[in-house]
Amino acid sequence: MKAIVLTGIGGPENLVETNLPIPVIDDDEVLVKVKAISINPIDAFARRNKDSLNFVYQLKGDERHIVLGWDISGVITETGAAVRKFKPGDAVFGMVKFVGQANGYAEYVAAPAWQLALKPGNISFEEAAGATMAALTA
């Protein structure tokens, strides 16, 4: 899958497109094919500041690739064995794994099912992705 990887602390020139494996989901997660993301001030702040990146991304020191992003919307393609709330084909949105490694700047995201909601049919994927962290901040 395509993903935008952070290659070093600093500006947007350190964000590079690469190919990574599609994530494997846990029993309580779903695999979301991402249709839209939202980029928030915390994304830029974490990208520019090593201490913030360590805190927000919860770096463990063994990460080969750092993929920022927490606000997503998309379509579920797979559900974990314990997931009952969603099924493949459901359109969803949410702010996932914040703080932590959500890897939202990618084609697919493994997301805890409890951190997602069904996307209302009368809003776009872009509107849904923009209504996550910004809405919680407001």
The domains of the chain, with CATH numbers, are 2-137 (3.90.180.10)
Instruction: Look up residue 4 and give its two tokens.
Output: 């935008």
Prediction pTM value: 0.92
Q: Digits of tens for pLDDT over the chain (138 positions)?
A: 999 999 999 999 999 999 999 999 999 999 999 999 999 888 999 999 989 888 888 877 777 889 999 999 999 999 999 999 999 999 999 999 998 888 999 999 999 999 999 999 999 999 999 998 877 777
Three-state secondary structure string covering the chain: CEEEEECCCCCHHHEEEEECCCCCCCCCEEEEEEEEEECCHHHHHHHHCHHHHHHHHCCCCCCCCECCCCEEEEEEEEECCCCCCCCCCCEEEEECCCCCCCCCCECEEEEEHHHCEECCCCCCHHHHHCCCHHHHHC
